[in-house]
């Protein structure tokens, strides 16, 4: 919502569009996305971050309150990035940090989302072969589940610190789901619930 108007912000081929929830009319649009845009936008404090990574790489951070019409190349675009963005997984905005993987590969980038400054990039996620699921975060930790059955747990922050590597005899294409003190992993064979004792 911006200035009392509910907006539905959608990532799409070549453009991001914001629609009025009640009327369905386009409020604003911004160019720069690649084709076949899959990642879901993330938003915080009046800024939406949108990215795509099929046949190219694109990321834009947009101050959307009061935006109207085509805002491509205007001061509504706070910062942008054109490398290492995801094709399938959505990004994770956790506190002030933005995490995303390169395409579907196990290479991680972390930004300070407010400043648009890179904390680290091309960080290899050892033990993970490929990624379709989106990262999730809770209790100061970030979780990424790989297609090969490996889940990596690392510390939320501007330096990469692995806390745990967990393996199950399954593969994960879905994003992990968090509920209370439990994490759910939907594998190709089974649904797993992992909780503290």
Contact in structure between 49 and 43 (CB atoms under 8 Å): yes
If you average pLDDT over residues 151-175, what whole number do you get? 97
Could you tell me if residue 13 is inside a domain? yes
Q: What is the reported pLDDT for 134?
A: 98
Tens of pLDDT, residue by residue over 33-54, are: 999 999 999 999 999 999 999 9
Q: How many CB atoms lie within 10 A of CB 197?
A: 2
Could you tell me if residue 93 is inside a domain? no
Sign of torsion over alpha carbons 152, 168, 128, 106: negative
Could you tell me if residue 26 is inside a domain? yes
Q: What is the reported pLDDT for 170?
A: 97
Could you tell me if residue 125 is inside a domain? no
Could you tell me if residue 175 is inside a domain? no
Could you tell me if residue 154 is inside a domain? no
Q: What is the reported pLDDT for 197?
A: 80
If you average pLDDT over residues 64-75, what whole number do you get? 95
Could you tell me if residue 2 is inside a domain? yes
Average confidence score pLDDT of the chain: 95
Q: For residue 1, what pLDDT band results from cuts at 50, 70 and 90? A: confident
Domain range for 69 is 1-82
Tens of pLDDT, residue by residue over 86-119, are: 999 999 999 999 999 999 999 999 999 999 999 9
Number of domains in the chain: 1
Could you tell me if residue 78 is inside a domain? yes
* Burial class, 8, CB count within 10 angstroms (exposed 0-12 / middle 13-18 / buried 19+): exposed
- For residue 187, list its beta bridge partners: 172
Query: Could you tell me which residues come within 8 angstroms of residue 169 by beta carbon, excluding any fewer than 6 positions away?
Result: 149, 189
CATH number reported for the structural domain that contains residue 46 in this entry: 2.40.10.480
Percent of the chain with pLDDT over 90: 95
């Amino acid at each position: 919502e911006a200035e009392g108007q509910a907006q539905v912000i959608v990532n799409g081929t070549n453009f991001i569009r914001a629609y009025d929830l009640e009327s369905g009319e386009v409020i604003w649009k911004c160019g720069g996305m690649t084709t076949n845009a899959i990642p879901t936008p993330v938003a915080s404090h009046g800024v939406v971050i949108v990215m795509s990574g099929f046949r190219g790489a694109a990321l834009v951070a947009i101050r959307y309150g009061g935006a109207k019409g085509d805002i491509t190349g205007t001061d509504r675009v706070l910062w942008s990035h054109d490398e290492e963005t995801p094709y399938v997984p959505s990004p994770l905005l956790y506190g002030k940090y933005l995490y995303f993987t390169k395409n579907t590969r196990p290479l991680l980038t972390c930004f300070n989302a407010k400043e648009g400054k890179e904390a680290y990039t091309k960080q290899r996620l050892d033990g993970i072969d490929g990624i379709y699921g989106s990262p999730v975060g809770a209790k100061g930790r970030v979780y990424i589940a790989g297609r090969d059955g490996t889940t990596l747990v690392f510390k939320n922050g501007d330096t990469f610190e692995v806390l745990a590597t967990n393996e199950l005899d399954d593969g994960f294409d879905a994003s992990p789901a968090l509920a209370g003190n439990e994490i759910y992993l939907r594998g190709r064979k089974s649904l797993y619930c992992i909780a503290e004792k």
